[in-house]
Every structure is written in C-alpha cells, then in structure tokens.
Structure 1
Amino acid sequence: MVLTSEYLSLGGTDLSAYTSKAELSVEVDEKDVTTYASSGWKQVIGGLKSGGLAIEFKQDFAAAALDSILWPLFGTVVAFEVRPTSAVVGTSNPKWTGSVLVKELKPISGGVGDEATQSVSFPTSGAVTRATA
C-alpha cells in the first residue's frame, strides 16, 4: 500500500489538506515479573499503555487556515482520528481514534528557501481505539 490520501482530523476539523505525514504510535510499559521459579528466563507483562501522534503540516497563515485552527487548540486535549485513506471507514480502511494533548506548536520553522512546515508530536490522553465501521 502507498499512502496517497491519508485522513487526519483534530478537534473535529479535517486537516488532511495541510498534512504531509501523520504517524500514530502506541506502546505498553514492560514490567519485569521474573522470579527464581522462572528457570533463568526473564518474564514480562504489559503495564500502562501510551501513545503519540506525530504530524507534519504544510503551514498556512491565511484566514481560517491551519495556523488559526491550531492556535486555539494549544494546551488542550482534543479528539483525533486517523485512517490510511480519506475513503469511508471499513475493513480495508480502519480508523484509529482517541484524544491528544496539543502540547507544542511550531508556527514558524525553516530556513531561507525552505517550505513553511510544522512538525509536531502530541501524546495521547486516554484510550486509543481501532474501528472498521
């Protein structure tokens, strides 16, 4: 599969038109429960789960564009949705949803002649769910 029309929504607003990369990652803490009865083998179980949403935006300062959408979200927890394509959700196009803390923004980033981009990472807050309907 080649990602050509990935869908990203933050706070209920479709930001796909400004997005050039979106990466959702989830992980679980590894807890060591090894005992002498483990016969010399380490035993682990899962602990707390966490995740993050890393996004690269193409910046836009026009009225009602990206900068004016993201700025009010700074410091708040908002809903997100990502899916491989902008097509309807289904078994071949699942969606992942949850909430993220908009903990950083980089409104101005780059050097002479660079594209105006903004790369940010937001931690998840609460459960991340996967759905196909």
Structure 2
Amino acid sequence: MAKFVLLDARLFAPGADLSGASSKIELSSEIEDKETTNYLSAGWKEVIGGLGSAEISAEGQWEAGDPSKVDDASWSALGGIGPYTVCPTGSTVGALAYITSGMRADYNVGDAVGEVAPWTGTVKSSWPLVRGQIAHPPGLARTVTGTGTPVQLGVIPAGKRLYAALHVLSVAGTTPSITARIESGDATISTPTTRATFSAATAPGGQILRGDGTAVADTYYRVAWTITGTTPSFMFAVSLGIR
C-alpha cells in the first residue's frame, strides 16, 4: 500500500458505525519488555516480551438521540467489552482492518461556548490487536439468506487463530433474525467448511469470535448468513484476521 492521506477511516463499535462522528482515530499496540540481563549477556541489557496490550482512541463531533449516535453508543458500551474494527482507508471487501475485543474505558464530552460539541473516548484491549480484512461492507442491506465475497487470508498455522468480528448496525422488519458464520475453502469456496458461528442477532450489537489454535490449510474465507422474519433487513459489517 502506498502512502496516503487519511480521508476515509472507519470506526465500528459493537453495534454502531462511528465513522461519521469521528475526526481522529488512533491505534496503538505494544509488548511489555521484561529484563533478563545476566552475566552472559556480554554487557548488554537483555529483554524478552511480556504482556501485550492495544488501545484505540478516537474523537469527533458529538451526536445523540439514536442508538447509532456516538453518545448513545458510548454510554451503553462504557465499562463493557465488545468488538471494535478500525479501517484506515475504507470498508470495502478486502480493505485493511484492525480488530480487537476491548473495554470502553472512558468517554468525555463538552468544550467552550461557541465550539462544535466534541467527544473523546478510549478502548483498551482484552484480546490481541489483529490485522485482517473486511469480509462484508457496512453499506449493503441484506434481506435474504446468502454468502459474501471470499477474501484471501492465508493458512492458519498451528498455534495461531482465526478472529472474526460482527457488527450489526441496523435491523428492520417483523421478528427479524440473522445468524452469521465464517466459512473457508478454495478460491471459490465451492465446498465450504464452517469455522465459526455467531449467535443469532435480532437487534444492533456486536460479537467477536476466535478459533481454537488448530491449523487450517484453507486460504480463503467468507461470511455467510441465514436471515428469517417478515420483511427483514440488516446492515452489518464483518472483519476477519489471523493472529
């Protein structure tokens, strides 16, 4: 990817797309260094990696009055743990995405008179920060059972895991329900194998799943979904990654 100017970054909280209310999004990830210097370290400090951590910080323009707005979404998530997906260049299928499960640690609002009402907030990780891809874009309504476009993630070595985040952003219809799952296979996924299944969702919200560390030789993955209800309609985003 060539150098670029941040113009279309996306931020998905558990069940809300906060991109339109965000003007700054920052990701950080670090591994704690633990000193192991000894008499055979040849006079140099020696360290090994300890605990890892990641953080998402964001800020933007305050809005309220609907579950999709930043104030409503932030208050409902404060102190809770859920999935977060950040995309630095957009959210089309195959776009770069960073994924984690984190706790909404703080939320701040307000400024001086005459200023555009701002907000700031921080998410602190409970799972690793995973570099992956978007498997389903947020702006495409789904009304019937179907499958998404395969994305090439690569094989999952033993000890690594598949991570998948589902953000259900809007729901319409009578008794609507969607059950999403992650499938893998060849480039066309002609004979799919189900790798993870989310719980049925009937309202906006988020879920995140990860594999058990078993090696997987398949290199392509997609999201598939089963929709039921009367005139149902769902807007959702899905991100996938391996770590």
Name the TM-score, length of structure 1 as normaliser.
0.89
Kindly state the Cα deviation for residue 89 of structure 1 after the two structures are TM-superposed.
4.5
Q: Which has the higher helix share?
A: 1
Separation in structure 2 between the aligned mates of residue 130 and residue 12 of structure 1, nearest angstrom: 20
**1:102 maps to what in 2?**
104
Amino acid corresponding to residue 68 of structure 1 in structure 2:
D
**1:53 maps to what in 2?**
56
Q: Figure out how many residues of one structure are paired with residues of the other and give that number.
A: 130
Moved more, 34-43 or 64-73: 64-73
Q: Which has the higher strand share?
A: 2
Tell me which of 71, 81, 88 is aligned to 1:77.
81
Kindly state the Cα deviation for residue 125 of structure 1 after the two structures are TM-superposed.
0.9
Amino acid corresponding to residue 28 of structure 1 in structure 2:
I
Alignment check: 8 A CA contact 1:96 1:129 kept = yes
Name the TM-score, length of structure 2 as normaliser.
0.51
**1:66 maps to what in 2?**
70
Kindly state the Cα deviation for residue 79 of structure 1 after the two structures are TM-superposed.
0.5
Asked which structure has the greater RCO (Cα within 8 Å, sep 6+), the reply is 1
Percentage identity across aligned positions? 32
Shift of the 57–81 alpha-carbon distance from structure 1 to 2, 3 Å rule, reads: same
Map 1:22-37 onto structure 2 (within 5 A). 22-37=25-40
Separation in structure 2 between the aligned mates of residue 63 and residue 53 of structure 1, nearest angstrom: 23
Q: Which structure has the greater CA radius of gyration?
A: 2
